[in-house]
Amino acid sequence: MPDKPLPRHLHEQNRISWNAATDAHNSHKDDQAGFLRERGHTLFPEELELLGDLHGKKLAHLQCNAGQDTLSLAKFGAIVTGVDISDTAIDFACQLSKDSGIPAKFICSDVYDWLDQAVKARECYDIVFSSYGAICWLSDLSRWAERIGRILIPGGRLVLVDFHPIAMIFEEDWSIQYDYFTYGEPKKWDDGIGDYVAVSGSALSPMGNLEGVKDFVNPHPCHEWIWTIGDILESVIHAGLTLNQFREYPYLNGEKGFKDMIEKDGRRMYPPANLPSLPLMYGLVAVKTN
């Protein structure tokens, strides 16, 4: 079956919105190059556990944003290629790689274009990885998963850690406002991508938090696609991958995405005490078995 046309105009609006937000996000993070070079990394235990041993593994980090996690993966021994649609983010990532002395390859591209080019070039990867707000920017989930299946080596793995789609039904004040089932229709946000780093403070700035840009307002709208857990799992399975692990977590790593979240050990953010336990993140590993 031929691919459906992609909504390129929406992807482009997202790129512009991410460009504006990326500058604001990085304004709050102190000496990122020194932190990565000398003192630490930006990964959480959940993704490290699912990724396993990275030494010598060829890894594609899709929707890598400004490269902090990509370079952290390299510190654990992976041979990394980071891909992101935002030219502002990729420019920052390239400079961060240079300044930190941590080698990585960064490519500015719509993820669908990069995947098509990788398939055409017969590139092969041990691991394809995405995390934290990746799936909601994908306009064609099946196409994404199918291409990933084609660039993984036999035994290669897709590793994904992301915000649980059930969390997307809530407004910031925890009121239920949005549909869980959207059937592939995009949701437009006129206020664009916000400055969640400013809201989250040191939880998303382990290298040190700066005041940075104050009262950021994004003038560029963005568009998200809310895929259900069923959508995500079916796309992976239909791509010929075997689900090896699937986990749900009752907290958000780092991001204070909702009102009155309670921060506990490990920069984990839980709902306020008056709310029941909810799945706020999930992680999966899917393996190419042939």
User: Is residue 264 one of the residues assigned to a domain?
Assistant: yes
**How does pLDDT run along the chain (290 residues), one tens digit per residue?**
678 899 999 999 999 999 999 999 999 999 999 999 997 999 999 999 999 999 999 999 999 999 999 999 999 999 999 999 999 999 999 999 999 999 999 999 999 999 999 999 999 999 999 999 999 999 999 999 999 999 999 999 999 999 999 999 999 999 999 999 999 999 999 999 999 999 998 898 999 899 999 999 999 999 999 999 999 999 999 999 999 999 999 999 999 999 999 999 999 999 999 999 999 999 999 999 97
pLDDT score for 166: 96
User: Is residue 172 one of the residues assigned to a domain?
Assistant: yes
User: Is residue 36 one of the residues assigned to a domain?
Assistant: no
User: Is residue 205 one of the residues assigned to a domain?
Assistant: no
User: Is residue 258 one of the residues assigned to a domain?
Assistant: yes
pLDDT score for 239: 96
pLDDT score for 2: 76
For 50-83, b/e burial (b = at least 16 CB within 10 A) is: bbeebeebebbbbbbbbbbbbbbbbbbebbbbbb
Identify the domain containing residue 130 by its residue range. Answer: 41-180+224-288
Rg, Å, the chain Cα set: 18
User: Is residue 25 one of the residues assigned to a domain?
Assistant: no
User: Is residue 270 one of the residues assigned to a domain?
Assistant: yes
Contacts (Cβ under 8 Å, ≥6 apart) of 162: 130, 131, 132, 133, 134, 135, 281, 282, 283
Q: What is the CATH number of the domain that holds 116?
A: 3.40.50.150
pLDDT score for 290: 79
User: Is residue 209 one of the residues assigned to a domain?
Assistant: no
The total of structural domains in the chain comes to 1
pLDDT score for 1: 65
